[in-house]
Amino acid sequence: MALLAQGEACVTEVANAEGEEISTISQRLRVLRAEGLVSRRREGKHILYGLADQHVFDLVFNALAHASEHKPATR
């Protein structure tokens, strides 16, 4: 989802960026789409996936910002 927060991408682009099999990424995108987090549109022979809306973008952005601020507690 972090990749899709940067803009639309096809399954192959996501798979290459993540180092995963196309079938794995396709299944993950299918689940995210079913949950309303990801949308898709056809452009010629390609299907491009992106975040469903601004609310999802904000959620991803805030989660990534929080994760980068997180520092493990020291004892």
Condensed to tens digits (0 to 9), the pLDDT of residues 45-56 reads 999 999 999 898
> Above 90 in pLDDT, residue 20?
yes
Q: Could you give the residue ranges of the DSSP H alpha helices within 1-75?
A: 11-18, 22-34, 54-69
Mean pLDDT of 2-13: 93
Fold annotation for 4-69: Arc Repressor Mutant, subunit A (1.10.10)
70: which strand partners?
A: none
3-state helix, strand, coil in the chain (%, to 5): 55, 20, 30
**∠ at Cα 40 (26, 18), nearest 5°?**
40
**For the chain, what are the domain ranges?**
4-69
| pTM of the shown model | 0.79
Task: Compute the distance between CA of residue 21 and CA of residue 1 in angstroms, rounded to an integer.
Answer: 16
pLDDT band at residue 60 under the 50/70/90 scheme = confident
CB of 16 closer than 8 Å to CB of 31: no
